Amino acid sequence: MAGEPGAMPVHSGGCQCGAVRFRVTGGVGEASICHCRMCQKAFGAYYAPLVSVRGAQLEWTRGRPAYFQSSNVVRRGFCAACGTPLSYEAPDGVALAAGAFDAPAGFPPRLQYSVDSRLPFVDGLAALPGWTSADDLAVSPFLESMVSRQHPDHDTADWPPDPG
């Protein structure tokens, strides 16, 4: 267990639907953001937040990712059921999508790659006006009736739960 003296840290995570889960045992490397166009497309986002797991033990504990060979040297893992990006796998190691970890706040990015491809407005995102979830509920009543089918941020014996 991670809390015992001398114990290796353990981090878990997985996709949105719960079909693919992973566990990383041992120290993880640096968290980063990649701005390259390939990562933008793979994540469907302005950049890709990644955590290196080089040197740690990675286990797929439920299901396995599907893969897309995005270049001659890199393949990217994702959940075939829900599409969640999961991994970036290159000859020099594997990185996992930071947001796929159950506790992503523990992986603040320490560096950026491909800053020449960074979209010009990214640096100003934090200055945009923002609303809390409670504010959204006040203006979007349908959100009150929403029932999440997203896997919880912890390991489960079975998923989806038995509706019985």
DSSP string, 111-159: EEE-GGG--TTGGGGGGS----HHHHHHH-GGGGG----SPPSS--SSS
| Predicted pLDDT at 136 | 73
CB 15 within 8 A of CB 87: no
Per residue in 78-97, pLDDT (tens digit) is 999 999 999 999 999 999 99
Q: What is the mean pLDDT of the chain?
A: 91
Band (pLDDT 50/70/90 cuts) for residue 141 is confident
- Tell me: pLDDT of 142 over 90: no
Query: Which tokens belong to 145?
Result: 């009736």
% of the chain at pLDDT higher than 90? 75
pLDDT of 1 above 50: no
What pLDDT is attached to residue 160?
76
pTM: 0.88
In the numeric block, which tokens belong to residue 139? 């203006």
Report pLDDT for 3: 55
